[in-house]
Structure 1
Amino acid sequence: MNVVLDMIGQYGYIALYVLLALGIVGIPVPDELLLTFIGYLTSIGIFNFPAAVTVSLLGAMTGMLVSYWLGRKLGKPVLWKYGKWIKLTPKRLKKAETWFHRYGPWTISFGYFIPGIRHLTCYLSGVSGMSQRKYLLFAGAGALFWCLFFITLGYFAGYHFDFI
């Protein structure tokens, strides 16, 4: 976490964008803590709240699009070849794809709040062949709510730090 804090301190909004994009793709970045910390920084005037939300949203969406396209281009062939190592047979893959077509869009939106799920839904969206427009709609709504929630949480926690 110290590396993340140093990057935010040195590079500001650029670090926020890059860290969130990498975190969504799957690099271990503590996304929720990062956003909460950014909210705290907005409460003490180091960051601007609307700018922080915008940059966070753009970073999250960049990471989600990269994951989507990795799933779209590499997903099925890689899963068919190496899926057996994680007990994902073609039959199970087909079952997961059917489930994802039914519930996937809502899983994308609400999956942001469950670490690990938000990463998996991006790849599965691409693997399942979900249209990019539909994906962007549900991913964007989820990303906006996720960024707003944690930045606002950090803002109010920082604003009332003495009380807490």
Structure 2
Amino acid sequence: MGWGGVFVLMAIESACIPLPSEIIMPLAGWMLVADKGLGWEYILLVGLVGALGNLAGSGVAYWAGARFGRGFLERYGKYFLITSEEIARTDRWFQKYGDVTAFFSRLLPAVRTFISLPAGIARMNLKRFFAFSFLGALPWSTGLAWGGYLLGQNWEKIREVMRPFDIPIIALGVVAVAWFIWSRVRKIRAER
């Protein structure tokens, strides 16, 4: 999909659709830079394109959260295991630590995909949200592209090394999700 594909895919990832940047950006570093014989300086360009895509997708998710999120959560949050106290705590958190949260969440796998929605619901200052989101997305995107540039066509070897960890990682994920749901149901029942 080329350079435009990097932008679009990273925008999708930041619009709360879990399309992993951990696949998009390393492949961009490999296929758009290393495979084409371009120098390492093009990694900076790939990182910039990825970060701008993140910004575009974040804007969509932020807008959706600001426009529809609060009413939706107040009405249906209990069905998603979200308590009213947690909504209030999130508002306080973004008022106090919004800048730091926007920046560091862009450096964390999975969290980075969904942070824009609660920022919009809490109505964090939009300019500051965009600025700190971009500042966090740029090193993330650039770092992943750099990794793809260095690893190049060794993807198959890496996959073989990682294969034995697939089942334990999946099992750990299932246990974590089960514990999360169990604890949330208990908390919601206690709130009623």
TM normalised by structure 2 equals 0.71
Cα distance, 1:37 vs structure 2:
1.2
CA distance in 2: counterparts of 1:102 and 1:147, whole angstroms: 27
Contact (CA 8 Å) 2:46, 2:142: kept in 1 or not?
Answer: no
Residue 32 of structure 1, CA deviation:
1.1
Q: Contact 2:18 / 2:110 at 8 angstroms: preserved in 1? A: no
Give the 5 Å matches for 1:11-160: 11-41=1-31, 42-45=33-36, 48-158=42-152
Runs of 4+ in 1 over 4 A off after TM superposition: none
**Inter-partner Cα distance in structure 1 for 2:15 and 2:46:** 20
> Considering only aligned residues, what root-mean-square deviation do their CA atoms show, in Å?
2.2
1:17 is displaced (CA, Å) by 1.3
> 5+ unaligned residues in a row in structure 2: which ranges?
159-192
CA contact (8 A) 1:104 1:121 kept: no
- The gaps in structure 1 that reach 5 residues or longer are 1-10
Distance 2:146 2:120 in 1: 31
Q: Does the 8 A contact of 2:11 with 2:55 survive in 1?
A: yes
CA contact (8 A) 1:22 1:29 kept: yes
String of CA shifts for 1:100-129, please: whole Å, max 9, x gaps.
Answer: 322232122121232331133211111111
1:100 and 1:120 map into 2 onto residues whose CA distance is 14
The answer to whether the 8 A contact 2:103-2:133 is kept is yes
One-letter amino acid matched to 2:16:
G
Aligned length: 152
**Paired position in structure 2 for 1:3:** none
